[in-house]
Amino acid sequence: MLWVALATAIMLLSGELGREADDGATLALLLASMRKSTIQDVADSPRRAAALRALASFELGLAAYRRQLATFKACIAAADNEYGATRADYDACSQPLESERANLRASLVTAEQDYEAAVTQAERARVAQAVLALPEARLLDPAQASKKSPLPSRSRGVEGVLTERHPTLPRNVVAVVYGPLSSATFGQRFPSRIIDGGTSYAHQDQARADATGTPAELWNMRGGARVGMFDDFEAGALFMPLQLAPSFRFDPVLIFFTQQFRLKGVDLVIRTSFQTPGDTGWGLNPGTMLALPGRKLAARVGFFVPMEVGTLKHPIAPMVGLNAPLRVTWNLVPSFFLSADSGVAYDNLARSGALEVPLGLGAGYTWLTGSKVIDFTTSFSWDHWLSPSPEQGSAHLAWQTYRIAFGASLYFQAL
């Protein structure tokens, strides 16, 4: 039973259950106790010497493993501090540890065979009783050992360089969204509002404010979370949607589900979003996008059909639009990036002359802080920049209608 427990402890300390902590020090203490009990309880000198040699061979294997584990930790820490670190870099850290882990298992099997041949059943029982009575022996209990936290390290799917990221988060990765330019808010333009994260200030000229019945100046604050549920599938929500001025109120919550398909050099994404009922009832925004990640340049283009359909209690004539956003992102250096947004949008197909071309500029800084990644982002957008054929006549530019947003988003591994 003692050797089975030791084998379980090796599996747990080596990371096979998702852990990379160094419990080898505790295991070394248990082996020292086993050595002491063997000296006391095995009376025959030749058999005692053989049993101690078996333990010594296993201790050598454990020492080699712990040296490799220290190298592994240093390798992981170095990758965490590299903006361009990829899954392959993290996997390269793990390969030598896997080899040493296999050697440790083999040394355990050999030590067990030699030790069992050297001591009697009664002696084994006394040694096991002495070792398992130690407080450190809780390491040998899988139920207790599995509660320990993993070594903090950056998720092996969260790239430090923003242009290299995919639209969905890796499995078990969480993003706290409180900033613009997020993948989740790309293309979230509804007939009556435009959704982005962070703190935002929207300004429009008085003529447009009178025509749309909306405030000339508007302050919003939106935040939420994204979670990588499975490989290439995420869910999330902006569940902190506040209008701060000209009056305080809660806006509708935005909820989204995103499925990604990785093709050669391009990601195909299907996303379904909806807003909880507000002034215009339920908001829906199904659509698709293509994402082209790259080492310095990345591009995303989407096609969405936003609509606001009222509710059963307060029915309205559905407002349906079309939105084809485009975003190009450029990492000047690994930590700093610029972005440009445009595309075409028709917010309400029932209105003639409502075709618009938006224009936006953004910037951001990515900070690697140990096991976490933080993006500080800001954007300046003319959401109604160009009206090519407005209802009232010739095309015009709406320079005085703009939106500024800023904030930050945090990425970390949940499990």
List phi, psi (to 5°) of 234.
-135, 160
Q: Specify the pLDDT at position 140.
A: 58
- What is the model's pLDDT at position 138? 65
pLDDT at residue 374 tops 90: yes
3-state secondary structure of 328: strand
What tens digit of pLDDT does each residue of 265-285 get?
899 999 999 999 988 889 999
Residue 145 has pLDDT above 50, yes or no: no
What is the CATH code of the structural domain delimited by 162-413? 2.40.160.40
Backbone angles phi, psi at 272, to 5 degrees: -120, 125
Contacts of 133 (CB under 8 A, 6+ apart): none
Q: How far is it, in rounded angstroms, from Cα 51 to Cα 366?
A: 56
31 contacts 58 by C-beta, under 8 angstroms: yes
pLDDT at 205: 85
Question: Which of 137-151, 317-331, 367-381 is least confident?
Answer: 137-151
User: Which stretch of 9-18, 167-176, 205-214 has the lowest confidence by average pLDDT?
Assistant: 9-18
Q: Find out whether 263 and 257 touch, Cβ atoms under 8 Å.
A: no
